[in-house]
Chain A
Amino acid sequence: GENVEQHPSTLSVQEGDSAVIKCTYSDSASNYFPWYKQELGKRPQLIIDIRSNVGEKKDQRIAVTLNKTAKHFSLHITETQPEDSAVYFCAASLTGGGNKLTFGTGTQLKVEL
Protein backbone atom coordinates (compact mmCIF):
# COMPACT_ATOMS: atom_id res chain seq x y z
CA GLY A 1 0.00 0.00 0.00
CA GLU A 2 0.84 3.66 -0.11
CA ASN A 3 3.20 5.15 2.47
CA VAL A 4 3.55 8.90 2.96
CA GLU A 5 6.37 10.47 4.92
CA GLN A 6 6.26 14.08 6.05
CA HIS A 7 8.95 16.44 7.35
CA PRO A 8 9.54 18.29 9.53
CA SER A 9 7.31 17.24 12.42
CA THR A 10 7.53 20.73 13.92
CA LEU A 11 8.35 24.03 12.29
CA SER A 12 8.68 27.40 13.91
CA VAL A 13 8.98 30.56 11.80
CA GLN A 14 8.82 34.27 12.37
CA GLU A 15 5.80 36.14 11.12
CA GLY A 16 6.32 37.17 7.53
CA ASP A 17 8.79 34.40 6.77
CA SER A 18 8.10 31.45 4.49
CA ALA A 19 7.39 27.91 5.60
CA VAL A 20 8.04 24.76 3.61
CA ILE A 21 6.74 21.28 4.42
CA LYS A 22 7.84 18.27 2.41
CA CYS A 23 6.27 14.88 1.76
CA THR A 24 7.32 11.78 -0.10
CA TYR A 25 5.12 8.96 -1.28
CA SER A 26 5.86 5.40 -2.27
CA ASP A 27 3.20 4.38 -4.79
CA SER A 28 3.99 5.75 -8.23
CA ALA A 29 0.35 5.21 -9.19
CA SER A 30 -0.87 7.89 -6.76
CA ASN A 31 -2.07 10.92 -8.65
CA TYR A 32 -3.94 13.15 -6.21
CA PHE A 33 -2.14 15.06 -3.44
CA PRO A 34 -4.16 17.26 -1.07
CA TRP A 35 -2.93 19.31 1.86
CA TYR A 36 -5.00 19.81 4.98
CA LYS A 37 -4.82 22.29 7.84
CA GLN A 38 -6.12 21.14 11.19
CA GLU A 39 -6.55 23.35 14.20
CA LEU A 40 -6.74 21.78 17.64
CA GLY A 41 -9.95 19.82 18.10
CA LYS A 42 -11.26 20.78 14.67
CA ARG A 43 -11.78 19.01 11.38
CA PRO A 44 -9.06 18.91 8.72
CA GLN A 45 -9.66 21.57 6.09
CA LEU A 46 -8.43 21.29 2.55
CA ILE A 47 -6.16 24.21 1.73
CA ILE A 48 -4.79 23.16 -1.64
CA ASP A 49 -4.45 20.07 -3.79
CA ILE A 50 -2.57 19.03 -6.87
CA ARG A 51 -2.96 16.31 -9.44
CA SER A 52 -0.15 14.52 -11.15
CA ASN A 53 -0.70 16.20 -14.48
CA VAL A 54 0.67 19.49 -13.15
CA GLY A 55 3.90 20.38 -11.41
CA GLU A 56 2.85 23.42 -9.43
CA LYS A 57 -0.29 25.11 -8.17
CA LYS A 58 -0.67 28.38 -6.33
CA ASP A 59 -3.46 30.01 -4.39
CA GLN A 60 -2.53 33.39 -2.92
CA ARG A 61 0.08 32.73 -0.21
CA ILE A 62 -0.05 28.98 -0.59
CA ALA A 63 1.62 26.89 -3.26
CA VAL A 64 2.24 23.21 -3.82
CA THR A 65 4.89 21.64 -6.03
CA LEU A 66 5.01 18.07 -7.25
CA ASN A 67 7.94 16.06 -8.55
CA LYS A 68 6.55 12.79 -9.90
CA THR A 69 9.94 11.39 -10.76
CA ALA A 70 11.23 11.78 -7.24
CA LYS A 71 7.79 11.08 -5.74
CA HIS A 72 7.75 14.08 -3.52
CA PHE A 73 5.58 17.13 -3.10
CA SER A 74 5.90 20.23 -0.98
CA LEU A 75 3.72 22.90 0.58
CA HIS A 76 4.97 26.47 0.54
CA ILE A 77 3.40 29.20 2.65
CA THR A 78 4.69 32.73 2.11
CA GLU A 79 4.27 35.77 4.32
CA THR A 80 3.22 33.62 7.23
CA GLN A 81 0.76 34.99 9.75
CA PRO A 82 -0.06 33.87 13.32
CA GLU A 83 -3.35 32.40 12.08
CA ASP A 84 -1.35 30.01 9.92
CA SER A 85 -0.31 28.22 13.12
CA ALA A 86 -1.84 24.73 13.00
CA VAL A 87 -1.03 21.15 12.12
CA TYR A 88 -0.64 20.51 8.40
CA PHE A 89 -1.11 17.09 6.82
CA CYS A 90 -0.19 15.97 3.36
CA ALA A 91 -1.95 13.02 1.76
CA ALA A 92 -1.85 10.91 -1.37
CA SER A 93 -4.36 8.80 -3.24
CA LEU A 94 -5.55 7.58 -6.58
CA THR A 95 -8.30 9.59 -8.18
CA GLY A 96 -11.68 8.11 -8.89
CA GLY A 97 -13.85 5.51 -7.25
CA GLY A 98 -13.59 5.12 -3.50
CA ASN A 99 -9.84 5.47 -3.39
CA LYS A 100 -8.63 6.24 0.08
CA LEU A 101 -6.27 8.95 1.27
CA THR A 102 -3.04 8.01 2.98
CA PHE A 103 -1.97 10.77 5.33
CA GLY A 104 1.46 11.95 6.34
CA THR A 105 2.35 12.21 10.01
CA GLY A 106 1.68 15.93 10.22
CA THR A 107 3.69 19.11 10.78
CA GLN A 108 3.02 21.42 13.71
CA LEU A 109 3.60 24.92 12.33
CA LYS A 110 4.05 27.75 14.78
CA VAL A 111 4.24 31.31 13.51
CA GLU A 112 5.81 33.55 16.09
CA LEU A 113 5.29 37.28 16.37
Chain B
Amino acid sequence: GAVVSQHPSWVICKSGTSVKIECRSLDFQATTMFWYRQFPKQSLMLMATSNEGSKATYEQGVEKDKFLINHASLTLSTLTVTSAHPEDSSFYICSARDRRGDEQYFGPGTRLTVT
Protein backbone atom coordinates (compact mmCIF):
# COMPACT_ATOMS: atom_id res chain seq x y z
CA GLY B 1 0.00 0.00 0.00
CA ALA B 2 0.81 3.74 0.05
CA VAL B 3 2.00 4.02 -3.52
CA VAL B 4 2.63 7.35 -5.20
CA SER B 5 3.19 7.63 -8.93
CA GLN B 6 4.55 10.46 -11.03
CA HIS B 7 4.27 11.11 -14.72
CA PRO B 8 6.30 11.59 -16.77
CA SER B 9 9.45 10.03 -15.34
CA TRP B 10 11.57 12.22 -17.54
CA VAL B 11 10.93 15.04 -19.98
CA ILE B 12 12.99 17.21 -22.27
CA CYS B 13 11.53 20.51 -23.36
CA LYS B 14 12.67 23.63 -25.12
CA SER B 15 13.27 26.88 -23.33
CA GLY B 16 10.11 28.97 -23.12
CA THR B 17 7.67 26.08 -23.16
CA SER B 18 5.58 24.72 -20.28
CA VAL B 19 5.69 21.27 -18.75
CA LYS B 20 3.10 19.56 -16.55
CA ILE B 21 4.02 16.89 -14.03
CA GLU B 22 1.37 14.71 -12.40
CA CYS B 23 1.51 13.17 -8.95
CA ARG B 24 -1.01 10.52 -7.96
CA SER B 25 -1.65 8.61 -4.78
CA LEU B 26 -2.78 5.22 -6.02
CA ASP B 27 -4.21 3.50 -2.99
CA PHE B 28 -4.89 6.18 -0.42
CA GLN B 29 -6.37 9.62 -0.15
CA ALA B 30 -3.83 12.37 0.18
CA THR B 31 -5.15 15.49 1.81
CA THR B 32 -1.74 17.06 1.46
CA MET B 33 0.86 16.73 -1.26
CA PHE B 34 4.30 18.27 -1.36
CA TRP B 35 6.49 19.24 -4.28
CA TYR B 36 10.27 19.15 -4.00
CA ARG B 37 13.14 20.01 -6.27
CA GLN B 38 16.47 18.26 -6.01
CA PHE B 39 19.63 19.36 -7.80
CA PRO B 40 22.50 16.89 -8.28
CA LYS B 41 24.20 15.88 -5.03
CA GLN B 42 21.94 18.16 -3.02
CA SER B 43 19.11 17.70 -0.59
CA LEU B 44 15.40 17.90 -1.29
CA MET B 45 14.18 21.47 -1.26
CA LEU B 46 10.49 21.96 -0.60
CA MET B 47 8.84 24.13 -3.23
CA ALA B 48 5.24 24.13 -2.08
CA THR B 49 2.60 22.39 -0.02
CA SER B 50 -0.61 21.49 -1.79
CA ASN B 51 -3.88 20.89 0.00
CA GLU B 52 -6.87 19.44 -1.81
CA GLY B 53 -9.33 22.09 -2.84
CA SER B 54 -7.27 25.07 -1.76
CA LYS B 55 -4.41 27.16 -3.03
CA ALA B 56 -0.89 25.88 -2.61
CA THR B 57 1.46 27.38 -0.07
CA TYR B 58 4.79 28.25 -1.64
CA GLU B 59 8.13 28.37 0.10
CA GLN B 60 10.06 31.58 0.18
CA GLY B 61 11.85 32.24 -3.08
CA VAL B 62 9.61 29.96 -5.18
CA GLU B 63 7.71 31.87 -7.85
CA LYS B 64 4.06 30.85 -7.69
CA ASP B 65 3.36 32.20 -11.17
CA LYS B 66 6.13 30.09 -12.63
CA PHE B 67 5.41 26.87 -10.76
CA LEU B 68 1.66 26.37 -10.92
CA ILE B 69 0.27 23.77 -8.57
CA ASN B 70 -3.21 22.31 -8.71
CA HIS B 71 -4.59 19.77 -6.25
CA ALA B 72 -7.99 19.10 -7.70
CA SER B 73 -8.72 15.81 -5.98
CA LEU B 74 -7.59 13.71 -3.05
CA THR B 75 -5.45 11.58 -5.37
CA LEU B 76 -4.00 14.02 -7.89
CA SER B 77 -1.77 17.06 -7.78
CA THR B 78 -0.08 18.67 -10.75
CA LEU B 79 2.94 20.92 -11.06
CA THR B 80 3.26 23.02 -14.21
CA VAL B 81 6.59 24.65 -14.91
CA THR B 82 5.76 27.63 -17.10
CA SER B 83 8.15 29.34 -19.48
CA ALA B 84 10.85 26.85 -18.58
CA HIS B 85 14.50 27.87 -18.66
CA PRO B 86 17.64 25.75 -18.53
CA GLU B 87 18.12 26.63 -14.85
CA ASP B 88 14.79 24.89 -14.15
CA SER B 89 16.39 21.60 -15.14
CA SER B 90 16.21 19.43 -12.06
CA PHE B 91 14.72 16.35 -10.43
CA TYR B 92 11.19 17.13 -9.27
CA ILE B 93 9.72 14.83 -6.63
CA CYS B 94 6.28 14.85 -5.11
CA SER B 95 5.15 13.29 -1.89
CA ALA B 96 1.76 12.59 -0.45
CA ARG B 97 0.64 12.39 3.11
CA ASP B 98 -2.08 10.02 4.17
CA ARG B 99 -4.61 11.79 6.36
CA ARG B 100 -4.23 9.06 8.96
CA GLY B 101 -0.56 9.52 9.68
CA ASP B 102 2.59 11.58 9.51
CA GLU B 103 4.55 9.62 6.96
CA GLN B 104 5.10 11.09 3.53
CA TYR B 105 5.20 8.71 0.60
CA PHE B 106 7.37 9.84 -2.27
CA GLY B 107 6.81 9.55 -5.97
CA PRO B 108 9.59 8.22 -8.22
CA GLY B 109 10.50 11.71 -9.42
CA THR B 110 10.55 13.47 -12.77
CA ARG B 111 13.79 14.41 -14.45
CA LEU B 112 13.26 17.69 -16.30
CA THR B 113 15.80 18.89 -18.84
CA VAL B 114 15.27 22.26 -20.49
CA THR B 115 17.31 22.85 -23.62
**Interface positions of A (Cβ within 8 A of B):** 32, 34, 36, 41-46, 49, 51, 89, 93, 95-106
A42 to B91, CA, bound (A): 10
For A36, what are the chain B residues with a Cβ–Cβ distance below 8 Å?
Answer: 106
9 A-B pairs within 8 Å (CB atoms) are namely A41-B91, A42-B109, A44-B106, A46-B103, A46-B105, A98-B32, A98-B57, A98-B97, A106-B43
Which single member of B31, B57, B104 contacts A101 (CB below 8 Å)?
A: B104
Would A103 and B43 be within 8 Å (CB), given that A96-B102, A98-B49, A98-B97 are in contact?
A: yes
A99 to B99, CA, bound (A): 12
**Interface positions of B (Cβ within 8 A of A):** 31-32, 34, 42-46, 49, 51, 57, 91, 93, 97, 102-109, 111
Beta-carbon contact of A43 and B46 below 8 Å: no
Beta-carbon contact of A49 and B93 below 8 Å: no
Chain B residue at smallest Cβ distance from A90: B43
Most buried by B among A36, A41, A45: A41
Which single member of B49, B108, B111 contacts A43 (CB below 8 Å)?
A: B108
Would A93 and B49 be within 8 Å (CB), given that A42-B108, A44-B93, A98-B32 are in contact?
A: no
Beta-carbon contact of A101 and B109 below 8 Å: no
Chain B residue at smallest Cβ distance from A36: B106
For B46, what are the chain A residues with a Cβ–Cβ distance below 8 Å?
Answer: 100-102
Beta-carbon contact of B102 and A44 below 8 Å: no
Which single member of B42, B51, B93 contacts A98 (CB below 8 Å)?
A: B51
